[in-house]
């Protein structure tokens, strides 16, 4: 029976391919939404990861960088630097808001950097200089491409005009790009020339970061300290939380679409074979045996669809950012495993339509001439 149900699938390879590709497209949509969201979420914590600090110190009550503001007196950075467990500190001023580039507002992380802490600037440059001085700005290369802005052009940060002196790589995100300005300019804007927003702490070898955070909180007044892992995780969670509902909805819609496609294919296969079903029933096959055969057909189409989806995702989705640079995609194994788990319910749901047809077929129709 299984052979009888599967052989027609493979004797009509074009029909099978079209069905499996349709399923693959809907699965790929699910993977695309998930990859885009995950890519964006990762991009939102890329600065924190690139800084590679052991501990992040911020204003008391703050535990994020995304959608947050923090102000810490600059002497606190010096105090932390004096601690025997600390190898080095670096600090930045930070503001998140819109930056007008090429006449369009871009929601950005604006990082105010100082030459004292040179590694707090962009980690990869495409053109120009990495460390902006007063009146200067470094913007993402992708933003420059999208807006036509070049080195020497001006952009606006709130009420300040800044000259583009560098184009950085890996700093663009649709939700929040990273723009680097001088600490002086951002200090003027935030009226906080003697303050920092975040202090990055680099511990001496062998020092436990968790113990260091406790020590900093104990010894430095009105600050919060988090290990780098906890800080990044906290920001990533916030980013994911913001889009999780949308992604869940998209995933559900994509899965429903895939179910509908598999159901339609399974139903049309069964509907076209009504006479053969009647023969199968006449010769002694039961409804449940025939239903199982229909389920196997649905499973084959769904599994094949998923395999195609994996293929599409790893080729097309990996290639997409090179032609659409503003998209950050992160294709991960768990996106496929969650879909693989969904396969059996999808196939069962899809074959329910076929089950109704199977039950209704009258074996007497085998006598029709």
Residues that bind another protein (CB under 8 A): 1, 3-4, 7-8, 11, 275-276, 279-288, 363-364, 366-369
Nearest Cα to 180, choosing from 249, 142, 223, 134? 134
C-beta closer to another protein: residue 118 or 288: 288
Q: How far is the CB of 307 from another protein (least distance, A)?
A: 23
Which C-beta is closer to another protein: that of 76 or that of 281? 281
Contact predicate 59/71, CB 8 Å: yes
Of 14 and 283, nearer to another protein (C-beta) is: 283
Task: Give, in order, the Cα–Cα distances in Å from 20 to each of 64, 256, 346.
Answer: 44, 15, 13
For residues 164-181, one letter each, b for 16 or more C-beta atoms within 10 angstroms of the residue's C-beta and e for the rest, the string is: bbbbbebbbbebbbbbbb
Least gap, CB of 325 to another protein (angstroms):
49
Alpha-carbon distance 285 to 301, whole Å?
23
Nearer to another protein, 9 or 164 (CB): 9
One-character DSSP codes across 157-214: ETTEEEEEEEEESS---SS-EEEEEEHHHHHHHTT-TTEESEEEEEEPTT--HHHHHH
CB of 348 to another protein, least distance (A): 21
Q: Which residue, 86 or 290, is less far from another protein as judged by CB?
A: 290
Q: Which is nearer to another protein, 206 or 367 (CB)?
A: 367
Q: Which is nearer to another protein, 79 or 281 (CB)?
A: 281
Supply the DSSP symbol for 107. Answer: E
CB 291 to another protein: min, Å: 13
CB of 352 to another protein, least distance (A): 20
Query: By C-beta, is 71 or 279 nearer to another protein?
Result: 279
Q: Are 305 and 262 in contact (CB under 8 A)?
A: yes
What 3-state class would DSSP assign to 81?
A: helix
Coil, strand or helix at 318: helix
For residue 145, with 0-12 CB atoms within 10 Å meaning exposed, 13-18 middle and 19 or more buried, which class applies? middle
Q: Cα(258)–Cα(48) distance, rounded to whole angstroms? A: 38
Label residue 35 exposed, middle or buried (CB < 10 Å: 0-12, 13-18, 19+).
buried
In terms of C-beta density within 10 A (0-12 exposed, 13-18 middle, 19 or more buried), how is residue 153 classed? middle
CB of 31 to another protein, least distance (A): 33
11 or 322: CB nearest another protein: 11
Burial class (CB in 10 A: 0-12, 13-18, 19+), 122: buried
Nearer to another protein, 200 or 295 (CB): 295
How many Cα atoms occupy the beta-carbon half-sphere of 51 within 13 Å? 29
- The least CB distance from residue 13 to another protein, in Å, is 12
Minimum CB distance to another protein, residue 362 (Å): 8
Q: How far is the CB of 368 from another protein (least distance, A)?
A: 7
Beta carbon of residue 293, minimum distance to another protein (angstroms, whole number): 12
């Amino acid at each position: 029976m299984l052979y009888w149900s599967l052989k027609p699938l493979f004797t009509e390879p074009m029909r099978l391919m079209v069905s499996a590709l349709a399923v693959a497209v809907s699965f790929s949509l699910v993977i695309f939404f998930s990859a885009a969201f995950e890519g964006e979420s990762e991009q939102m914590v890329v600065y924190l990861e690139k800084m590679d600090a052991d501990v992040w110190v911020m204003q008391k009550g703050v535990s994020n960088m995304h959608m947050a503001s923090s102000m810490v007196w600059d002497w606190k950075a010096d105090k932390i630097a004096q601690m025997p467990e600390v190898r080095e500190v670096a600090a930045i001023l930070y503001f998140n808001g819109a930056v007008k580039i090429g006449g369009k507002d871009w929601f950005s992380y604006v990082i105010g950097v100082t030459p004292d802490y040179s590694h707090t600037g962009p980690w990869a440059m495409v053109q120009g200089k990495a460390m902006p001085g007063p009146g200067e700005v470094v913007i993402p290369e992708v933003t420059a491409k999208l807006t036509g802005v070049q080195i020497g052009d001006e952009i606006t940060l709130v009420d300040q005009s800044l000259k583009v002196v560098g184009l950085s790589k890996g700093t663009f995100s649709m939700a929040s790009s990273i723009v680097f300005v001088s600490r002086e300019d951002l200090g003027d804007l935030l009226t906080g020339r003697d303050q920092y927003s975040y202090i990055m702490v680099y511990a001496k070898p062998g020092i436990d970061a968790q113990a260091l955070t406790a020590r900093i909180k104990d010894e430095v007044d009105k600050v919060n300290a988090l290990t780098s892992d906890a800080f990044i995780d906290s920001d990533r969670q916030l980013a994911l939380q913001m889009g999780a509902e949308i992604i869940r909805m998209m995933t559900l819609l994509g899965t429903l679409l895939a179910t509908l496609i598999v159901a339609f294919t399974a139903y049309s296969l069964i509907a076209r074979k009504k006479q053969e079903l009647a023969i199968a029933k006449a010769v002694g096959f039961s409804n449940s045996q025939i239903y199982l055969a229909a389920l196997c057909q649905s499973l084959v189409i769904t599994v094949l669809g998923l395999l195609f989806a994996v293929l599409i995702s790893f080729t097309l989705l990996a290639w997409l950012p090179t032609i659409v640079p503003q998209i950050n995609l992160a294709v991960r194994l768990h996106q496929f495993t969650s879909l693989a788990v969904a396969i059996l319910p999808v196939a069962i749901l899809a074959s329910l339509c076929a089950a109704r047809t199977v039950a209704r077929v009258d074996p007497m129709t085998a006598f029709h001439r």
